[in-house]
Amino acid sequence: KRPVGVPDAKLARKVTKVGIVGAGLMASQLALLFLRRLQVPVVLTDLDQARVDKGVAYVNEQIDKLVGKRRMDAGTAAKLRGLISGSVDRSVFADADFVIEAVFENLELKKQIWAEFEKIVKPEAILATNTSSLSLTEMAADLEHPERVVGFHFFNPVAVLPLLEIIKGEKTDDATVATAFAVGKELKKSSVLVKDAPAFVVNRVLTRFTSEVFKAIDAGTPLDVVNEAFDPMGLPMRPIALLQLVGPAVAYHVGETLHTAFPDRFVDSPNLKKIVDAGLPLLVDDEINAEVVKLLDAGDA
Ligand code: 3HC
């Protein structure tokens, strides 16, 4: 049975080449997932060749690991290695029919990216965004073809978590949503159609949780006490480990978007900001980072 609001799968367009904008941790995980499941050419790009090379190297390393674990045969591995490539020359995206961006969580940057890629790709190519919180409608506002912009939001670790939030902007058309669902199915994810609202559904709820965690830390409870307090609840991860997995900066920016939209519900934590500004990881070898504790002990944020 087709879920409410999901257009007829017959409207879906075929995807024969995927472009990934960004080569960071999330983007590289996406490159690997698209490559494994769709087995079509996947090209990634970033600001410079070193980042691109790092992204491609990650994908090749993961292929090696999968072969090592006997989860992929040598023939498939060789085929996939031939399908992944990276380039700083964006013209290689010209024949991509599904482009997904996973860059820094900043609306202006994402708008700039789509303005640039709109000129490179075909008018019907899908422009998907892995944004965690930003408005699809605003992101597409200045485009000539806003109807092909769609939210395609994954959860960390991408290879493990099945959820995919598909977000329809005000102008997103049915063919785009149908294609997004068809691709989600090929990726073997459980796709849900959600409204274009700040942080959509799952991140809004999760951020309410992590936001309250930092409210307790801001109020003076030590980081490790708050972290371990949840152990009896049987969560898959302690809250600070979850924030580290998501990335403290990503979590902070999602929190900022939600704080702006709902200031009474989401705190803009001064301590989380301090940690993000210092560029410190929250955990080192699975333990609370001593540098973070020192930073928070150093005085009022
Ligand atoms: N990358 C790839 N695979 C990973 C991985 C990673 N980072 N971490 C774990 N795995 C794999 C392991 O290899 C293992 O696979 P196998 O069983 O086939 O060997 C499997 O996951 C289970 O791993 P473990 O046994 O080591 O550990 P756990 O059973 O504790 O599971 C977990 C690890 C899946 C990460 C689990 O702790 C979990 O689900 N945590 C919650 C994660 C979560 O809530 N994520 C959402 C964050 S919000 C988000 O991402 C949105 C963004 O927009 C901010």
Largest CA distance in the chain: 60
**Does 301 score more than 80 pLDDT?**
no
- Residues 161, 35, 170, 194, Cα dihedral to 10°: -20
**Does 28 score more than 60 pLDDT?**
yes
pLDDT classification of 217: cutoffs 50, 70, 90: very high
The answer to whether residue 153 is catalytic is: yes
Residue 161 CA, ligand 1 centroid: distance in Å:
7
Residue 237 CA, ligand 1 centroid: distance in Å:
9
Give mean pLDDT, residues 192-210.
95
Residue 156 CA, ligand 1 centroid: distance in Å:
7
Residue 216 is which amino acid? A
Quote the pLDDT of residue 3: 77
Q: Take atom 30 of ligand 1 and give the residue whose Cα is closest.
A: 236
pTM tops 0.90, yes or no: yes
Q: Which ligand 1 atom is the nearest neighbour of the CA of 247?
A: 54
Give mean pLDDT, residues 269-279.
95
**Does 295 score more than 60 pLDDT?**
yes
Q: Take atom 22 of ligand 1 and give the residue whose Cα is closest.
A: 160
Positive or negative: CA dihedral 119, 123, 128, 134: positive
Alpha-helical runs (H) found in the chain: 25-38, 49-68, 74-83, 107-120, 136-140, 174-186, 202-218, 223-229, 239-246, 248-261, 270-278, 290-297
Q: Take atom 35 of ligand 1 and give the residue whose Cα is closest.
A: 157
**Does 299 score more than 90 pLDDT?**
no
Are 45 and 126 within 8 A, CB to CB?
Answer: no
Give mean pLDDT, residues 260-265.
93
Q: Which ligand 1 atom is the nearest neighbour of the CA of 206?
A: 48
pLDDT in tens, 110-120: 999 999 999 99
In CATH, what class is 9-194? alpha beta
Report which secondary-structure segment, H or E, holds 21: strand 18-21
Show the ligand 1 pocket: residues with CB < 6 angstroms: 132, 155-157, 159-161, 203, 206, 236-237, 242, 245-246, 250
Give mean pLDDT, residues 269-284.
95
**Does 158 score more than 60 pLDDT?**
yes
Q: Which ligand 1 atom is the nearest neighbour of the CA of 251?
A: 54
Share of the chain above pLDDT 70, in %: 99
- Residues 13, 19, 24, 29, Cα dihedral to 10°: 50
Q: Take atom 39 of ligand 1 and give the residue whose Cα is closest.
A: 236
Any idea which fold 203-297 has?
N-(1-d-carboxylethyl)-l-norvaline Dehydrogenase; domain 2 (1.10.1040)
Quote the pLDDT of residue 14: 96
Quote the pLDDT of residue 130: 97
Mean pLDDT (the chain) is: 95
Give mean pLDDT, residues 90-108.
95
How many other β-carbons are positioned within 10 Å of the β-carbon of residue 94? 12
Give mean pLDDT, residues 36-44.
98
User: What residues pair up with 236 in beta bridges, in sequence order?
Assistant: none
Q: Take atom 8 of ligand 1 and give the residue whose Cα is closest.
A: 157
Q: 147 in helix, strand or coil?
A: helix
pLDDT in tens, 61-97: 999 999 999 999 999 999 999 999 999 999 999 999 9
Distances (CA, A) of 23 to 15, 37, 126, 196: 21, 19, 19, 26
Quote the pLDDT of residue 300: 58
Quote the pLDDT of residue 26: 92
pLDDT in tens, 6-19: 999 999 999 999 99
Report which secondary-structure segment, H or E, holds 18: strand 18-21
pLDDT classification of 241: cutoffs 50, 70, 90: very high
Q: Which ligand 1 atom is the nearest neighbour of the CA of 153?
A: 53
Domain boundaries, the chain: 9-194, 203-297
User: Which residues are CB-neighbours of 169 under 8 A, at least 6 positions away?
Assistant: 135, 136, 137, 139, 140, 146, 149, 150, 151, 196
Give mean pLDDT, residues 200-207.
96
Q: How much of the chain is in helix, strand and coil states, percent to nearest 5?
A: 50, 15, 35
User: What residues pair up with 158 in beta bridges, in sequence order?
Assistant: none
Quote the pLDDT of residue 298: 86
Pocket test for ligand 1, best of 160, 190, 283 (most atoms within 8 A of CB): 160
**Does 291 score more than 70 pLDDT?**
yes
How many other β-carbons are positioned within 10 Å of the β-carbon of residue 71? 10
